[in-house]
Amino acid sequence: MRLLRVGKGKPMSAATIAYVAFALVLTQSSDASGSKDALTFWSGLGLLLFFISGALVIWFSKQEYEQKIAAQEHLIATLQEANNGVQQELTKWQECYRTVITAMDEVTRKKVVAHINRSLPMPNPPPGIPLLIQEADAVEAPPDQTAWIAAIGWITQPAHQRVTSFWLSVHPRSEAFTGHIAVAGETRSGKGALIFTILAQLALRTRPEQLKLFAIDPKEDFALWEGKAHNWREPVLGRDPDMVRGAMQAISSERARRVAIRRRAQVLEWADIPAALRPPILVVYLAELDLMPVDDKELDAWLTEEMSTSLSEGIVFLLDIQNATRLSTRWRTHFGTNICGVQGRQAAVEPNLGISVSEVRAAGAIPPNELQRGQFTVRSGRDIESFSAPLITIEHRREMLAHLPRATDPLTILPPRPEDAEPASSESREEGHAISPEEEGRILRAADELEEQLGPQAKRTDVALRVYGRATGEEYQKVKYVLDTHRRILPGRRPATAIPTPHASSA
Ligand SMILES: Nc1ncnc2c1ncn2[C@@H]1O[C@H](COP(=O)(O)OP(=O)(O)OP(=O)(O)O)[C@@H](O)[C@H]1O
Ligand SMILES: [Mg+2]
């Protein structure tokens, strides 16, 4: 093939010349004598010439081919030589760097090694939450803690040529326990999307009786969550000071209720309360702290008290603010995890992250004044990383929230056994009982008191007796409806297998 291609033109032209010469001679000789012998002689001669010229052409082509092969072999040898040169140079430099690193003092060496192994926010991370949930699933953790893990962003590790995720846990027993979390970042830095990633992931991985969420949200983004079974109370949206104060009071009361439960159990930490008595983890989200319609002093005093006492009661605060610089350091120091997105000024780094720019750099992370939208630097305990949060659109949010159970749909969460069914219940819900907010409050207060006095022995009939003096008929249905809606005093006779999730023993 190669031979034919190299000498392709030559055999054709040589053969043509031979034929033309032969034809001319033949014509002339046949014209002159016309004899048969002459014809045979000349045709024989022509054929001989034809073969000789063909053989010559093949020989020349072969020569040319061999020359080209030799040229290519020479080129390969030259390249190999050059490559060996580069390798030698590389080894020389590696040796050189190794010597320099060995000669450094300990502090500088650590910095250099951290820089070489540093991880960076992943460029163009995959949008949405499902891939992060897969990452959270892959984290190795004791079975009773997996539900509280949330993977919140993507990082690349160039030294190891891999992509990984940054994850955290709101379970107090986890080594990656966040404590209270602050998310800071200039407007449009992506705080809201990141907080949605955290909260939605936690809610998607837990059952409503394991985890409760409560939001005070002046910007009303949390309206999307209304009616979800994971809501401890419905979110307080907008900037009505009385509503916000009422919510602050309710959180304080809940903490006091939990202190009483823990005291009764005679333990020091929420996690040590026996599972049957242990209340769900409550994550309180205070959105846009700057916009809270209560004055700074009142907010400072309340936050200082709540944040310093609530972790041991299973209550975790999650705050969202543009810049925490002017906030009171009395409670600002209570954050176990600071996450900070874009900040325009270097001076804003330490108040928002709890560590200085040089500490961020020493850990191989990126100071927030050098981040881009959607990128965050996190300090959680001694971990310091910079990561890229996924883009979360409104469609992503709706899609994720559609998977969460609704408060008004308790049967889909905890299907009762036949003996638990109340014959009148579905009917009463369809008819709809008029329950005033005041009545609802009385029912919930009675439930609080009875749970405090009787713990898991508290029954719904006791609540109905306390509120209405009777535990049957419409009164009982009202109590049942309110307690179902708020996921309180759930009928406790269900086998664990009725709950379709592997995290049954956790909270
Ligand atoms: N991870 C991300 N990657 C790229 N763009 C993002 C990311 N997260 C959010 N955005 C975009 O940035 C804009 C602001 O996002 P978001 O509302 O979450 O920011 P924010 O910090 O809460 O802002 P604000 O302080 O105004 O409430 C949105 O248009 C959003 O599409
Ligand atoms: Mg926001």
pLDDT tens digits, 461-475: 889 989 988 888 888
In a domain, 147, yes or no: no
pLDDT of residue 23: 66
Ligand 1 pocket test, pick from 391, 392, 396, 397 with the greatest ligand atom count within 8 Å of Cβ, gives: 391
Q: Is the CB of 191 under 6 A from ligand 1?
A: yes
Q: Is the CB of 127 under 6 A from ligand 1?
A: no
Q: Which amino acid is at 206?
A: T
Q: Which residues pair with 184 in a beta bridge?
A: 321, 340
CA of 391 to the centre of ligand 1 (A): 8
DSSP state of 180: E
Ligand sitting nearest the alpha carbon of 188: 1
pLDDT of residue 478: 86
Ligand sitting nearest the alpha carbon of 196: 1
Q: Residue 234: which CATH number? A: 3.40.50.300
Q: Is the CB of 153 under 6 A from ligand 1?
A: no
pLDDT of residue 88: 95
Nearest to 504 by CA among 209, 80, 283: 209
pLDDT at 427 over 50: no
Last residue of one domain, picked from the residues 401, 428, 462: 401
At residue 459 the predicted structure's pLDDT band, cuts being 50, 70 and 90, is confident
pLDDT of residue 439: 85
In a domain, 161, yes or no: no
pLDDT of residue 354: 92
Ligand 1 pocket test, pick from 373, 376, 387 with the greatest ligand atom count within 8 Å of Cβ, gives: 373
Based on the domain organization, do 396 and 434 belong to the same domain? Answer: no
Domain count, the chain: 3
The token pair at 359 is 């500490």
Ligand sitting nearest the alpha carbon of 194: 1
In a domain, 127, yes or no: no
Residue ranges with CB less than 5 Å from ion ligand 2 = 192
Q: Is the CB of 195 under 6 A from ligand 1?
A: no
In a domain, 297, yes or no: yes
Contact assessment for residue 214 and residue 284, using Cβ atoms and an 8 Å cutoff: yes
Based on the domain organization, do 317 and 186 belong to the same domain? Answer: yes
Based on the domain organization, do 52 and 192 belong to the same domain? Answer: no
Last residue of one domain, picked from the residues 350, 376, 401: 401
In this structure, which residue's CA is closest to atom 16 in ligand 1?
A: 190
pLDDT at 42 over 50: yes
Based on the domain organization, do 345 and 433 belong to the same domain? Answer: no
Give per-residue pLDDT as tens, 255-308.
999 999 999 999 999 999 998 889 999 999 999 998 999 998 999 999 999 999
Based on the domain organization, do 241 and 389 belong to the same domain? Answer: yes
Based on the domain organization, do 234 and 347 belong to the same domain? Answer: yes
DSSP state of 498: G
- Report the atom number in ligand 1 closest to the C-alpha of 392: 8
Based on the domain organization, do 86 and 188 belong to the same domain? Answer: no
pLDDT at 82 over 90: yes
pLDDT at 4 over 60: no
In a domain, 145, yes or no: no
At residue 15 the predicted structure's pLDDT band, cuts being 50, 70 and 90, is low
Q: Which residues pair with 320 in a beta bridge?
A: 183
CA of 188 to the centre of ligand 2 (A): 7
Q: Is the CB of 189 under 6 A from ligand 1?
A: yes
In a domain, 202, yes or no: yes
Based on the domain organization, do 192 and 312 belong to the same domain? Answer: yes
Q: Is the CB of 188 under 6 A from ligand 1?
A: yes
pLDDT at 429 over 50: no
Q: Is the CB of 171 under 6 A from ligand 1?
A: no
Based on the domain organization, do 59 and 6 belong to the same domain? Answer: yes
CA distance 343 to 100: 35
220: left (phi over 0), alpha (psi -120 to 50) or beta: left
Q: Is the CB of 397 under 6 A from ligand 1?
A: no
Domain carrying residue 262? 179-401
In this structure, which residue's CA is closest to atom 25 in ligand 1?
A: 187
Last residue of one domain, picked from the residues 59, 92, 125: 92
Give per-residue pLDDT as tens, 337-373.
999 999 999 999 999 999 999 999 888 899 999 999 9
pLDDT of residue 125: 96
In this structure, which residue's CA is closest to atom 14 in ligand 1?
A: 188
Choose between 444 and 437: higher pLDDT. Answer: 444
Q: What is the mean pLDDT of residues 489-503?
A: 39
In a domain, 334, yes or no: yes
Q: How many CA atoms lie within 13 A of 110 on its CB side?
A: 6
In a domain, 343, yes or no: yes
CA of 281 to the centre of ligand 2 (A): 24
pLDDT of residue 6: 41
For residue 315, give every residue at least 6 positions away whose Cβ sits within 8 Å of its Cβ, in sequence order, or none.
251, 254, 255, 258, 281, 282, 283, 284, 306
At residue 26 the predicted structure's pLDDT band, cuts being 50, 70 and 90, is low
Q: Is the CB of 123 under 6 A from ligand 1?
A: no
The token pair at 478 is 């009202």
Residue with tokens 């893990």: 149
Based on the domain organization, do 393 and 434 belong to the same domain? Answer: no
Q: Is the CB of 354 under 6 A from ligand 1?
A: no
Q: Which residues pair with 211 in a beta bridge?
A: 281
Determine which helix (DSSP H) or strand (DSSP E) holds 163, and give its type and residue range. strand 162-169
Q: What is the mean pLDDT of residues 215-228?
A: 96
Based on the domain organization, do 245 and 394 belong to the same domain? Answer: yes
Q: Is the CB of 193 under 6 A from ligand 1?
A: yes
Q: Which residues pair with 150 in a beta bridge?
A: 168
pLDDT at 412 over 90: no
CA of 247 to the centre of ligand 2 (A): 20
Based on the domain organization, do 258 and 385 belong to the same domain? Answer: yes
pLDDT of residue 263: 93
Mean pLDDT (the chain) is 85
